[in-house]
Amino acid sequence: MKKKVSIEDFASIKALGNLTLSPEGDKIAFTVKEGDLENNNYRTDIWVYDPARSPALYRLTAGEDGSAPLFKDNDTILFAADRKKRHPADVFGKPTVIQQISLRGGEAEECFVLPFAASAITPLSREEFLCSGKRDLHVEGLLAKAGKDAAKKEALKKQLEEEKDYEVFDELPFWKNGQGVTNKCRSGLFLCDIRQNTQKLLTRPFFDLEGFALSKDKSLLLYWGNEYESLRLKNEQLFLRHMKSGKVTRIKIGRGFSVSRAFFLGKQMFCFGTRGEKMGTSQNDEFYAIGEEGRLQRISSPDISFGPVGSDIAGGGASQPAGSALYFIQTEGYRSFYKKMDANGQIKTVCGGTEIISAAVGDERDCYFIGMEKDRPQELYRQKEGKTERLSAFNEAYVKEHAIGKTKYMACRDREGTPIDGFVLYPPDFDPKEKYPAILTVHGGPRSAYGQGFFQEFQYWAACGYIVFFCNPPGSSGKGDGFADILGEKFGVRDYNALMDFTDKVLKKVPQIDPARLAMTGGSYGGFMANWIIGHTDRFKAVVSCRSISNYVSKCLTTDIGYYHNLSQMGTDPWENEPMLWAHSPLAYADKVKTPTLFIQSDEDYRCWMGDAVQMLQALLLHGVPARMCLFHGENHELSRSGKPKHRLRRLKEMTAWFDRYC
């Protein structure tokens, strides 16, 4: 008899990610991560697939500290890990230790150390490389004053230790989710030399780097980010640097233009970005060529959603660097595909058929990707000449040993006639003669999408005897800006109506659901919708609101994205139209709530700060509504996906107990 999906299974299911192609395109490396409940952390190893070797698939590292792999050359991989614990973080910063390991065998050895937290390392030669590095301007300034005087540096260390008891906020943004307080912190672009142990800052002192791209011959460099003037956020800028001469040219993108990525196709320069004239920060990117004179020329408006569909068991990933075409992952409806775009803006599908998380192409007849088949966790695949082959079996034993619920697609149209992609997940022992409680879940974003891949918490609830149903209402990714338009006066109206219409359709098509035992949950935007729903209907008997939004007047003035993204969503601010912000705030309807509601919140979530959840909790308790909050210390907005294993376990226990109590 097969086991039921258990509450702890998120820790044993392997999450694959960070697929990287070797320089000659004949092998790939990637990471495999799993939770360790006993030690309350995660183990990450690097694996390699080399079809010329037997076995072709093998583990390269065996520790707890593997990170995204980078090919130094075709037979050597670099990765970040302080294996000997000789370079701990201190008040001056967090060093990055880069290990080197040969694919031909042997142990990893320390290659070089950077005095800052580094990422996006890109080799220029065997001795030089580019990377993004975290900078603390306050600490840098004090160190410059101390110079090489050991006594002054020791006094400075003591001063910084004392300053850890308080923070100073005097710029925007002053904190970021997952990074904590970022006041006076910047991300800079560095040219590093291993031989001389030097790190040369290529960006201006107050510039905050978002990304960079190198031409194939490594002679040209594009980089972009927010330009600061003194300590005040100015606007986004894009630069071209000639690597040999060091000449830097500012690309004329104009004020208000937002760059999401820039790249080379040969020596031609291109970027994706938008001015957001129609949908502000929610608008899909347009495709531009960058002319020799440094001006943008719009080529096309593809109206596509970059990135994969959602899952709570998934590794990270990125698109293959540009060559003759740009490769990227695109959500289309409720599936994700690996696609390429040429210099004329023509898009073609390279591979698909499963929900693709991370992908890489060698020969275009040979595409490797990490993906999820229907109701299955991730594996490594190869699509060769149109045929898809599963190359790994990391989660095969789990699938064979467990009774996994089946997801069925259920489309509907909302009251406006808009087609909605929906899904119903049935318990593995579903009996059509029985009645079941059910849970509606709403994804975050709202620019995100559900698919038919593996969600561990959904499968756990199905194993507990719940029917789980979910959909991609207006506002979601994958169907263009028109479908995603729930801005301003539409927010909480068009999307709410669609969710209720979908719920009606599910109850009609699945008579086994007991309408007296309906529950609902969602996180981030889904948490907004949870708070909104309880103020507009009593049809749900229990609701769990995770990392939620309740008050747009406070949300837009507290969080890391509030002052630009949430104001853009609403199309106004508290001084121009406070009544409109309040009318679209769930807190405004808290006096009408009757539904027992649990709030799940993290105290370091600066994306949906805990102040909104606290306001909603207090409002419900003041009005006599059964309510409870579980506040997780030291966690951020990513609790459900990458929080500490014991915290993720407690979160799911709290949610399930709440559903069980009322449904």
Q: Encode pLDDT of 158-189 as tens digits.
A: 999 998 899 999 988 899 999 999 999 999 99
Domain span at residue 488 reads 405-662
Q: Would you say 392 and 374 are in contact if contact means Cβ atoms under 8 Å apart?
A: no
634 pLDDT band, cuts 50/70/90, is very high
What pLDDT does 245 receive? 97
The mean pLDDT of 383-391, rounded to a whole number, is 89
Asked, for residue 329, whether it belongs to a domain, the answer is no
Tokens linked to 437: 């409680």
Place of tokens 């600490």: 139
Q: Would you say 157 and 91 are in contact if contact means Cβ atoms under 8 Å apart?
A: yes
Among positive and negative, which fits the CA dihedral 471, 475, 479, 483? positive
What pLDDT does 86 receive? 85
Instruction: Reduce the secondary structure of 287-320 to three states and give it as a string.
Output: EEEECCCCEEEEEECCCCEECCCCCCCCCCCCCC
Asked, for residue 459, whether it belongs to a domain, the answer is yes
What pLDDT does 324 receive? 77
Three-class secondary structure of residue 139 per DSSP: helix
Asked, for residue 386, whether it belongs to a domain, the answer is no
Asked, for residue 21, whether it belongs to a domain, the answer is no
Q: Give the CATH number, domain containing residue 579.
A: 3.40.50.1820
Report which of residues 638 and 233 the model is more confident about: 638
What pLDDT does 320 receive? 60
Residues β-bridged to residue 270: 263, 289
Asked, for residue 460, whether it belongs to a domain, the answer is yes
Instruction: Mean pLDDT check: name the lowest of 158-172, 175-189, 387-401, 616-630.
Output: 158-172
What pLDDT does 319 receive? 57
Three-class secondary structure of residue 536 per DSSP: coil
What pLDDT does 233 receive? 61
Largest CA distance in the chain: 81
Percentage above 70 pLDDT, the chain: 97
Give the pLDDT confidence of 33-62 residue by residue, as tens digits.
999 999 999 999 999 999 999 999 999 998
Give the pLDDT confidence of 312-348 residue by residue, as tens digits.
987 766 556 667 789 999 999 999 999 999 999 999 9
Q: Would you say 563 and 573 are in contact if contact means Cβ atoms under 8 Å apart?
A: no
* Cα gap 506→489, rounded to integer Å: 27
Asked, for residue 582, whether it belongs to a domain, the answer is yes
- Residue 455 is given by DSSP the state -
What pLDDT does 517 receive? 98
What pLDDT does 318 receive? 59
Q: Would you say 310 and 443 are in contact if contact means Cβ atoms under 8 Å apart?
A: yes
Our measurement of the distance from residue 477's CA atom to the centroid of its chain's CA atoms, rounded to an integer in Å, reads: 14
What pLDDT does 313 receive? 84
CB-based contacts of 383: which residues, under 8 Å, 6+ apart? 350, 351, 353, 366, 367, 369, 389
Helix ranges (H only) for 489-573 are 494-509, 525-534, 552-555, 567-570
Asked, for residue 591, whether it belongs to a domain, the answer is yes
64 pLDDT band, cuts 50/70/90, is low
What pLDDT does 366 receive? 83
Burial of 77 (0-12, 13-18, 19+ CB in 10 A): buried
Burial of 503 (0-12, 13-18, 19+ CB in 10 A): buried
Instruction: Tell me the average pLDDT of the chain.
Output: 93
Asked, for residue 269, whether it belongs to a domain, the answer is no
Give the chain's domain count: 1
461 pLDDT band, cuts 50/70/90, is very high
Percentage above 90 pLDDT, the chain: 83
* Cα gap 209→540, rounded to integer Å: 45
Q: Which residue type does 137 have?
A: L
